[in-house]
Structure 1
Amino acid sequence: MQLIASAPIDYLGSDDVIQSASPQVVNLARQLRVEGASDAEFARVAYEWVRDEVAHSWDAQDSRVTLSAEEVLDQRVGLCFAKSHLFAALLRSQGIPAGLCYQRLGNEEDGHVLHGLVAIYLDDGWHRLDVRGNNDRVNAQFSLSEERLAWPVDPERGERDYPVVHTTVATVVRAALAESDDAITLCLTGLPDALPE
């Protein structure tokens, strides 16, 4: 899939969700970046840290709702969106362009939900990565050569990859997380099912 993005420099900013200038985020990035590590090596370490050290709310059955990178780092839990916000912030803090991408996936009840990913700009191209967290049904991996996401989309089920690389969180995702106080209930009944056209 061809991703649609603006200039890589547009994906280096800090905001109230992707808090790449946060002292806590910068400090963790410095801890994770081994001296002399390339951007790709750092990106892999940061990816694996967020994927494995921050629990996915549904897998952990943890009702806490996190949105910003600092909240995810502090509480070590989040939905795919929130984990993506922290990963993007870590990358940006080290000068690696990172944006947010979304998929529309089918759920168990024949409906749909949005799923959050990160796109990073390395080796003169954009690469989507999924820090959701692995379990017995999910095996997402860091790869710059081929996508190793949690789930491939099935267009026959109404699923789709959204090609746009967003500089910040989608409005519908921000609203869903900001207005909820229970991540489990949000997963069951309140996740957005599509991006606005």
Structure 2
Amino acid sequence: MDARFLAISELTETPSVAVVVDVMRAYTVAAWVFAQGAEKIVLAESLDDALALKARHPDWVALKDGPPAPGFDLVNSPGVLRSADLAGRTVVQKTTAGTVGALAVKDASLVLCAGFVVAEATARLLRTHGSDTVTFVVTGEDGRADEDLACAQYIARRATGTGTDAADFLRRAAGSRAAAELTRGMREGAHPDDVALCLEVDRFPFAMVASPEDSLMVLRPHVLP
């Protein structure tokens, strides 16, 4: 498998298969959303779009980066999500980088969204799909976020062989700028446990597949047999 690691700004053409990585925190949060029972996640283009979707569907749950805000039900924090009851719900998610990355590759034949918590399931799906080339979209810091790059490289290794040790990749992620800012309380809407939760490997047994549905980009969990 030929793995390419690109920032969102470096996407000059639509890849065939894309893995969009946002460890801290969009796709760790998305995995927790599904673990708490949600049916699907709608990836919103903007905060205004998220609020418009919420207005049209009052039973949907709106989630955003940063501090709580009028019209939004939850913040982008896995520590907060652990206590949310989302059974059967639809969640609308808008984040600074993660959702932007997925929407940037929405025309790819296969779009996976990932963090460490779904690494092996994502790698297994890539192995099953058998793609020759996979583009990993490193969403944070214009492709320089080491937690995202480390996770992308780890998944790429796992997709081509199962013997890769996660320790070095996790060490890089733990030493990243995002981890430091979350630990120091520099990002609003954070929980003290967020970094630890983002660095749990294979917490969940599903991959997350995004695809167009009724003009929306919708993320759903996918469990391989």
TM-score calculated relative to the size of structure 1: 0.29
Task: Judging by fraction of residues, say which structure has more strand.
Answer: 2
Taking CA–CA contacts closer than 8 Å with sequence separation of 6 or more, which of the two structures ends up with the larger relative contact order? 2
